[in-house]
Amino acid sequence: MAAPASPTPSPSTPPPTPAIPEKALQELRAKATGQPVPRLIILSAPSGAGKDTVLQGLRGRNLALHVAVTCTTRPRRPVEVDGVDYLFVDRAAFDELRRRGELLEDAEYAGHCYGVPKQPLREALARGEDALLKIEVQGAAIVKEQFPQTVMIFLAPPDLAELDRRLRQRGRVDPTDLRRRLEAAERELAAIPQYDYLVVNHFNRVDAAVDQLTHIILAERCRTGVSPVRL
């Protein structure tokens, strides 16, 4: 007598797929569509470290990056272009911006005032662009306190001897001003541990420094959990 046929097993029910949190989906959509949360990025460097040369190279990398133009009361150097390198203003105009609360931060350095106007930053962030601020250590600390999601990058020479050489190459150098700038550089270099990234700008290797800055910016655009900046 034939054995009874075994019952056909019913297909197993797959385990329920866990729901994907909306926050995770938002991150995925933003990255997939190339629309990450725009960032504030600070670049600080001692005088003579080469930040303006490095920024010029960074502008050529097509990063959709807004480089904020700092306003300053210091005199314009012959090679500088007003509105590109800095916004050169007198003390009265600077004080008026400060009075209206239209400076993201302001500080005095080597006897001159520097500050970052807010309105161009608002417009850049609204376009979805990262905004890079070229500000010194004191101002960077103020911005970081107000906006903890700020990316902090320090650009440094390999040593103080190289910095001294670069400052002397600028032409006629007042010994008192040179000493003041080197003393300020020592204080600024002491702040390196407060920064997220350190980029060393070696002599005749500007492209390498620009490459590192580019990689940092692109990597930060992949970071998750970034809060929007509200100015």
The model's pLDDT over 135-161, given as tens digits with 9 standing for 90+, comes to: 889 889 999 999 999 999 999 998 888
**Which residues, 6 or more positions from 45, have their beta carbon under 8 angstroms from its beta carbon?**
51, 154, 155, 156, 188, 201
Q: Which amino acid is at 67?
A: V
For residue 158, the model assigns a pLDDT of 86
Look-up: residue for tokens 């970052």? 116
Would you give per-residue pLDDT tens digits along the chain (231 residues)? 556 666 665 666 666 667 899 989 989 998 999 889 999 999 999 988 888 899 999 999 999 899 999 999 999 989 899 998 899 999 999 999 999 999 999 988 778 998 999 999 999 999 999 999 998 898 899 999 999 999 999 999 988 888 888 888 876 678 888 888 888 889 999 999 999 999 999 988 999 999 999 999 999 999 999 999 999
CA distance 61 to 31: 20
Residues 141, 194 contacting (CB under 8 angstroms): yes
Q: Is the domain 37-220 a CATH 3.40.50.300 member?
A: yes
Output the pTM of the full model: 0.83
Length of the chain counted residue by residue: 231
Domain boundaries, the chain: 37-220
Q: What are the respective helix, strand and coil percentages of the chain, to the nearest 5?
A: 40, 20, 45
